[in-house]
Amino acid sequence: MSPRVGVLALQGDTREHLAALREAGAEAGTVRRLSELDAVDALVIPGGESTAMSHLLREFDLLEPLRARIAAGLPCYGSCAGMILLAGEIVDAGVEGRAAVPLKGIDMTVRRNAFGRQVDSFEGDIDFEGLNTPVHAVFIRAPWVERVGAGVKVLARAADHIVAVRQGSMLATSFHPEMTGDRRIHKLFVESL
């Protein structure tokens, strides 16, 4: 039976993740309500804007239930803004009242927009541990990881910065693999379920 993987569909690139997950062998659907969160075996938190996503998690009464599911072991994959939200600590989280909120899924410190503004977005091929050939990575106002805890495995770097990590059933990338035709990272996540 295929795992049921939800994509948090409050804001961000939901459609691309749904397609990538289905191609990777998962039964994929959107998550906007608590009942939908309760029905999934795993969750993808897409790219988008981390402060807007944090606000919407509160508005849809999903913030604390999602934190509880993550603490209970819900496998998650976060790309870009999803990486920021999965962090234990966020540097430059935003202004008070509108800040990105850490879900504390991965023992890491992430810096928002670390590579720069929208005009500083870039693409490039990077080595990714566990994959035989480089991954074409799309970085859009991307974060990077400034600190990892003892249980966190670094999977990729770009410009000497950590851009992909795994801790147990949690996976995070600061780039957007869903924007390319390469489904290997989604496949790694689905196969780990």
Q: Does 22 show up as a binding residue in the annotation?
A: no
Q: Does 147 show up as a binding residue in the annotation?
A: no
Tokens of 38: 């309760």
- Which position among 89, 176, 186, 191 bears the catalytic label? 176
- Which position among 16, 17, 76, 178 bears the catalytic label? 178
- Which residue, among 41, 12, 1, has the nearest Cα to 193 in the 3D structure? 41
- Tell me what pLDDT residue 41 has: 97
- Which position among 17, 55, 76, 80 bears the catalytic label? 80
* pTM for this entry: 0.95
- Tell me what pLDDT residue 72 has: 97
- Tell me what pLDDT residue 161 has: 96
- Which residue, among 157, 161, 120, has the nearest Cα to 139 in the 3D structure? 120
How many CB atoms sit inside 10 A of residue 160's CB?
6
Q: Does 84 show up as a binding residue in the annotation?
A: no
178 catalytic residue (yes or no): yes
- Tell me what pLDDT residue 33 has: 96
Q: Does 141 show up as a binding residue in the annotation?
A: yes
Given phi > 0 = left and psi -120 to 50 = alpha, else beta, which region is 113? left
Q: Which residues lie below 8 Å from residue 15, measured CB to CB, with a gap of 6+?
A: none
* Chain segment 119-168, per-residue pLDDT in tens: 667 899 999 999 999 999 999 989 999 999 999 999 999 989 999 999 99
SS (H, E, C) 19-71: HHHHHCCCEEEEECCHHHHHCCCEEEECCCCHHHHHHHHHHCCCHHHHHHHHH
176 catalytic residue (yes or no): yes
For the chain, how many structural domains are there in total? 1
Q: Does 169 show up as a binding residue in the annotation?
A: no
Domain that holds residue 79: 4-191
* Rounded Cα distance, 95 and 159, in Å: 28
User: How do the pLDDT tens digits run along the chain, 193 residues long?
Assistant: 799 999 999 988 899 999 999 999 999 999 999 999 999 999 999 999 999 999 999 999 999 999 999 999 999 999 999 999 999 999 987 666 678 999 999 999 999 988 877 766 789 999 999 999 999 999 998 999 999 999 999 999 998 999 999 999 999 999 999 999 899 999 999 999 9
64 catalytic residue (yes or no): no
* CATH number for position 159: 3.40.50.880
